[in-house]
Structure 1
């Protein structure tokens, strides 16, 4: 309470009543049940006639302006006679029916059942004497099928939730405490739920968990994977998941790096949120975002002596369809691929669509003819086999599709590093209504990613990660991708 007042926080307290009819009823001590009081000061004083070295006092105010506490340390109580004039002046003691009164901290704990602290951001405080909170603010969202993983009870998807790296850099200034610790408050607030109430939206049940980052991973901005959460217990967490607009809790942990994982209780619930961290000393809090990059080595074409039976079959089919032109169009490519792919019963696919085949040709068509020769086709087929292996790895249930939550790892395995926004877009673009991605959509996504990375790298001559395109170049790039 003392630290909160030092930082300009607002505090209120009340006495809960289990019987609604007894709200606003006065007790024998002069306190009112179900009534809101404000805490205006906390002080320590040294009575001259008592053995105790110090007495801790709390000053409260009844907004009615009357009806005050009548117990020890009330306006006219005998306890004030034990204080010196200097102590009384320090406490600004006066006897008046103004609604403001003092009481001992012990009586405060015995009588009041709830205390609420409102921490103000530094921009709301103008007094330079106040020890301001250090605040970091992050906005995020839970996207169904990608980053709405639910709470820790759902280990298969929990790790996909947004993650925020918290660095507690300095310990508290607390001369009365020999422990090394950093005090901070985490506040998770839902956005826009009240605005969407007229459309039937209710508040989600939300909460968060905090995990300590191993020293060997300090400074690593990689998204924590499923295995980390399966093998690591949370260092701290909110008391309970609850359907309130904001969930707030105070913690004290050793200086170091931590990961905060905000989530809804149930998975697949889509919404926006704000995550704020208030600390007494300096902290940094940021969303874990992968650096966007691609590492996709070109598969070496197999030599004639290394051709598998399937490769020989493809060569025969290709020559049969290509004829004397020795090149195939998108519709002919569709015919070639589907004659072989549909034999893979474990993929449970009806084959590639014409649009997917057009995208494949755009990726592999090095001479700009809109058709593929045998060498370009062989290069494409090697890529498809590589991607097929990744797809089968994540197709654990053998139903011919992968869960959209696994798409993040599948994309990583294919050599692409994307941020959370791009994973959200991929899920919305390629997942079906059941949040599954079939083989055709999986390959289409890989083709699209590689084509866009390749085009960007071609324009990024100086390698600074920024390009400038004319309208014509932009349209040429996007229309043929």
Structure 2
């Protein structure tokens, strides 16, 4: 943690269950920019007018500030249109929201789309972020809303349905179904939350995962991942956790470039399933598989266990049905766990809080949020290279009182997850802001040392 003048942080410690029903909770989200969806929609319905959002207007300023700014040629032919002006019979959701509804457009936000794809695997989570009671027919007024977790609070973001188009095609995120718009509108609401579409360019899947769930993320570098990683991934998906992965690109100019195996470097993928299957000729041995999705909606792995590979001939019809195997250029594919570990460099797992878990789940977590800042000369002590001031950094003492309730775990342990978050850095990019290099250290305190409650 280098010496920083004002690095904002949010230290999130998770262990037991807490419930909160006040302002900022799921039941009472904060109104972003003070806009009340119900009131605004009712006004438009009564006036028989379509909502126009004054706080995120259909202008270049909402597109961006540099590559999508006033002086950019990219924005000259962009026209903001409502879905009813783009196609006949527009629908909010067609046949249920699914991961095939998310196809990347001309914006480098694969990290966001990979997180949305993960979100569709859990309807309970999805419909908290994407309220279902919205449509282009009943009481349609050109207004929609979405909910995000924001630095400890849930916020409700209102938008109008004017979307950037070029030659009557959506410029950014779109669905495989031309008349489906929930994913495009969700992207717009997230862009509003951060100030512009361009603010969404480049990022980490975990950022969006946490904004969709209020969960806490843990990272694994494949080279240093534990031997039981496959079991960790299995348990994570069973608990409804969101999971993403990527392949590092050492050369920035080669970001999002396709390799000979069909995988893309510097690009975010969703992990949508893990499973084991028996091959016909070797009933004793199970093959461990991982299913992934490219948010482009195309460009897939072409190695073993890819859509049309010979490996599938070794499986029974029942095994294929269990894995929902199909040959389609939809961006989704299977690969062996061994190839997964060999080709990908990083995996991120977003652990969910109690409110995001089903009531019958064994494992319960809660969130404890501590907010503060590093201030020069006061609490910005720098990293451990500065022993004279390091001790002045903000400190928190945590006492772990309960053992993990995991019947499969033979070791006695008490698990906690710590995450550090910086506020508003993405929104302030247009002013030259960037992420601070920050971090934290965890120390074990001797049982003899005096301890105080967390």
Please state which band the TM-score falls in when normalised by the shorter chain: 0.3 to 0.5
Which structure is larger by alpha-carbon Rg, 1 or 2? 1
Q: TM-score by structure 2 length?
A: 0.42
Higher relative contact order (CA 8 A, sep 6+): 2
